[in-house]
Every structure is written in C-alpha cells, then in structure tokens.
C-alpha cells in the first residue's frame, strides 16, 4: 500500500517536473518569437509606407505578443504604427480602442469606436463596439473641439513649377493657411523643373504624363535655389507644386515627396476625363496637407478619414476629409505651443523628429512619436 502511494507521489512529481520544463520551453520559445517580431518590426520602421503596407501584419502580430505578455504600452505603440499604414483595419482599431479605455483615454477611444460604427459593415464588430460605447465612462463624453494652432508668425512658401495650375496653387495656399494657421506666401517666379534623369513617355495621350520628373532632384533643386528663403528665421519650409508626373527611385510614380523643410507634390494623377474640378482640388489639397505635415515635422496619425492618413489607393484617398484630425491638431499644438517664446519654438522645432509617409501606384499613441528620419514617399 505504501509502495503504491510512493509510486503515485513519484509519478505526480515527475508530471509536475515535465510540466514545468514544458512551460519553460514555451516561454523560451515565446521570447524567441517576440524577439524575431521585434527585429522584423524594427526593419519595417525603415521602409516607406507603400512597402510597409505589404507587411503591416507584423506590427499587429507584435501588438498581440505584447498584450499576451502584459506589455500594453508597447502594444499601443505597435498598433499605432500599424494603423498609420493601414488605418482602415477596423479590427485593430477596435483593439487599440480597448487599450485606450484601459489607459483612461476615453475621448480618443470614443472617436475610434464611432469611426468603426460609421464605416464598418461587420455586424458582429459593430455590436461589440456599441457594447463598449455603452460603458458608463462614455456617457459624459462630449465632442471636444481642438483649437487650431496659431502659427501666424511662421511662414510656409509655395513654389509653382512651370505649368502648375494657378487655381490649384491658390486653393492649396488658402486651405493650408486655414487648416494649419500658417502664413503662406506663393513665390512670384515660377521654377523650371530640372530635366535631369527625366523619364520621357511621349506615347501617353495625357500631356501631364508625357514627362515624368525625378522628385528627389526637384527637392534638391528647391534646396539649392531657395536656400536663402529656407534660412529665414520664421520660415518652416517650402512646398513645391507641379502639374507633371513625378517619380523617385524604384517607384513608378508618386503623388508627393517630402522631407524636413521641403516637399513637392504632383496633381497629375488626380485628373480624370469627366472629373469635376472640386474633386481634383480636394485631392490636391489633401496631398498638400499630408506633405506640409511632414515639412513641419508632424508624424502621420491613425485616423482613417484625416487628410493626412495614408491611403493605399486613390479610392481610399477620396474617402478622406479635407481637414486635419484631432491627433494631427494636437501634435501641431504640442510642437508649436503658442505659450512659448519664438526662440523656444524654433529650438523645439529643430529637435523634433519627423515621420514618414508614402503613396504611389505600384511597387498613435496620441502623443507625438519620434520616427526614423528619411524621405517621405507619398
């Protein structure tokens, strides 16, 4: 009898030992998997948005791994990066909203959940979203109007490349002033775009597509010719506007290319045969907002309907609003706080890391997040 008890106890201890070994092996494998995901996400951070979009699931898998480990702050950061690239992912917008609720960010979560209800067609997800919004904490939430920053002491120059449509140029200048609160000045003389490394497509019936200019060379041209304007004390940058098609590196075409202080956009692909002018102007304005944000050092947001959200195609571009979202306005206010002296503002502006964006036809936490500096392919 005693031998049987001893055997049972011994067997029980063996089982516990094996279970412990298995648990340690699972944890070790989990740590290895997490490290691999982190390495892949780190590499993903160096890619433009158009390339990162193909691998955006890495960010979401990393977020799930962080949540499994109780690392909710890291999960929020990973989700934010993923949703900057694919903001129309309703499922992960919902997950981020749940994490924001845990952090007490009810206003941000409310906007995210209401976005899902307005645009999503999944009945199950909508029901879950409505259940969250029925929480007591949301009953006293009211829409909070975020004040547009007062940046009238700052200047942004608009440069017309030869052939740019005056109506589009003036519309962009007016809307940037309205939305960003900046003083905008259109440079009087038109610039002749450099034809170095130009692509000739004479067979294209669309005149604006027959010459495709290298956007990187155009940025270098702006930097070289308008160095004096860029060095002016309160000048934040120059945005070039061209009516011809543009490209860079291995991208078949671009809607825009931006880096610190300088950017260029093309509206060549915003036209269609019978397309109304107001749509062309809206598309151009939204693209200008996107590039201007990066010229000013403001990272991309996760709000799918924001003018600065990353669109994977022209259809997603048209689903956006031609205005800045709460997150972008908050980031502008944080960087250019009107309570600071001009000297303090300039110092902070020089220290602020900017984000990246990309949009072409081939190939947040709510605080400002520093991103690797690089050209922003749009």
pLDDT in tens, 76-128: 999 999 999 999 999 999 999 999 999 999 988 999 999 999 999 999 999 99
Of 277 and 374, the structure prediction assigns the larger pLDDT to 277
How many other CB atoms are there within 10 angstroms of residue 54's CB atom? 12
Give CA–CA dist 349/234, Å, rounded. 11
110 and 162 belong to one structural domain: no
126 and 155 belong to one structural domain: no
Q: Give me the helices (H) in 104-246, please.
A: 106-119, 123-133, 166-180, 215-225, 227-230
309 and 364 belong to one structural domain: yes
Last residue of a domain, one of 116, 138, 160: 138
317 and 282 belong to one structural domain: yes
Q: CA end-to-end span of the chain, whole Å?
A: 79
Q: What is the mean pLDDT of the segment spanning 332-347?
A: 57
208 and 84 belong to one structural domain: no
Tell me the CATH number at 130. 1.25.40.10
Q: What is the mean pLDDT of the segment spanning 123-152?
A: 84
Give CA–CA dist 146/325, Å, rounded. 9
User: In terms of Cα–Cα distance, which of 155, 245, 241 is closest to 190?
Assistant: 241
Q: What is the mean pLDDT of the segment spanning 51-72?
A: 92
User: In terms of Cα–Cα distance, which of 266, 279, 278 is closest to 163?
Assistant: 266
Of 188-197, 323-332, 342-351, least confident by mean pLDDT is 342-351
Between β-strands 256-259 and 262-266, what pairing exists: parallel, antiparallel or unpaired? Answer: antiparallel
Residue span of the structural domain in which 54 resides: 2-138
Of 23-32, 100-109, 189-198, 256-265, least confident by mean pLDDT is 23-32
39 and 120 belong to one structural domain: yes
Q: Which residues on adjacent β-strands are paired with residue 254?
A: 246
Give CA–CA dist 306/310, Å, rounded. 9
Q: Which residues on adjacent β-strands are paired with residue 1?
A: none
Is residue 9 assigned to a domain? yes
Is residue 146 assigned to a domain? no
Is residue 143 assigned to a domain? no
Q: Would you state the structure tokens that stand for residue 135, as one six-digit string?
A: 């929480």
38 and 88 belong to one structural domain: yes
State whether residue 120 is helix, strand or coil. Answer: coil
Confidence grade of residue 177 (pLDDT, cut at 50, 70, 90)? very high
Of 207 and 138, the structure prediction assigns the larger pLDDT to 138
Distances (CA, A) of 176 to 54, 87, 124, 152, 340: 31, 23, 40, 12, 22
Distances (CA, A) of 126 to 122, 131, 137, 142, 320: 6, 9, 19, 21, 21
Distances (CA, A) of 155 to 148, 183, 295: 16, 5, 12
Confidence at residue 127, expressed as pLDDT on a 0 to 100 scale: 96
60 and 184 belong to one structural domain: no
Mean pLDDT (the chain, rounded): 83
Q: Would you state the structure tokens that stand for residue 18, as one six-digit string?
A: 């094996």
371 and 339 belong to one structural domain: yes
Q: Is the pLDDT of residue 373 over 60?
A: no
322 and 367 belong to one structural domain: yes
Q: Which helix (H) or strand (E) holds 200?
A: strand 199-200
Of 266 and 2, the structure prediction assigns the larger pLDDT to 266
Task: Give every CB contact of residue 261 below 8 A, 6+ residues apart in sequence.
Answer: 223, 230, 236, 237, 238, 295
Is residue 341 assigned to a domain? yes
Q: Which helix (H) or strand (E) holds 262?
A: strand 262-266
User: In terms of Cα–Cα distance, which of 163, 183, 290 is closest to 236?
Assistant: 183
Q: How many domains does the chain have?
A: 2
């Amino acid at each position: 009898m005693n031998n049987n008890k001893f055997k049972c106890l011994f067997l029980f201890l063996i089982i516990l030992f094996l279970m412990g070994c298995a648990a340690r092996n699972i944890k070790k494998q989990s740590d290895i998997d997490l490290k691999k995901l982190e390495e892949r996400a780190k590499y993903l951070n160096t890619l433009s948005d158009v390339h990162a979009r193909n691998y955006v699931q890495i960010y979401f898998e990393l977020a799930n791994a962080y949540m499994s480990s109780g690392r909710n702050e890291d999960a929020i950061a990973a989700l934010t990066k993923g949703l900057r690239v694919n903001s129309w992912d309703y499922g992960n917008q919902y997950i981020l909203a749940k994490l924001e609720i845990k952090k007490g960010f009810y206003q941000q979560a409310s906007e995210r959940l209401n976005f899902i209800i307005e645009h999503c067609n999944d009945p199950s997800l909508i029901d879950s979203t409505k259940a969250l919004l029925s929480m007591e904490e949301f009953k006293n939430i009211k829409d909070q109007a975020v004040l547009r920053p007062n940046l009238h002491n700052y200047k942004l120059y608009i440069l017309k490349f030869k052939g740019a449509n005056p109506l589009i140029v003036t519309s962009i200048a007016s809307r940037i002033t309205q939305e960003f609160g900046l003083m905008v000045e259109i440079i009087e003389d038109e610039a002749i775009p450099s034809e170095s490394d130009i692509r000739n497509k004479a067979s294209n019936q669309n005149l604006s597509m027959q010459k495709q200019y290298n956007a990187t060379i155009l940025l270098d041209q702006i930097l070289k010719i308008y160095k004096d304007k860029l060095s002016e004390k309160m000048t934040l940058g120059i945005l070039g506007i061209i009516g011809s098609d543009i490209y860079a590196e291995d991208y078949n075409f671009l809607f825009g290319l931006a880096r610190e202080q300088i950017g260029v956009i093309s509206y060549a692909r915003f036209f269609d045969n019978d397309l109304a002018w107001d749509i062309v102007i809206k598309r151009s304005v939204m693209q200008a907002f996107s590039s201007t944000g990066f010229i000013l050092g403001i990272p991309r947001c996760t709000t799918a309907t924001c003018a600065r959200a990353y669109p994977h195609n022209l259809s997603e571009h048209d689903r956006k609003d031609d205005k800045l979202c709460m997150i972008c306005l908050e980031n502008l206010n944080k960087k250019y706080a009107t309570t600071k002296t001009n000297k303090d503002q300039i110092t902070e502006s020089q220290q602020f890391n900017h984000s990246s964006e990309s949009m072409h036809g081939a190939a947040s936490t709510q605080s400002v997040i520093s991103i690797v500096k690089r050209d922003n392919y749009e």
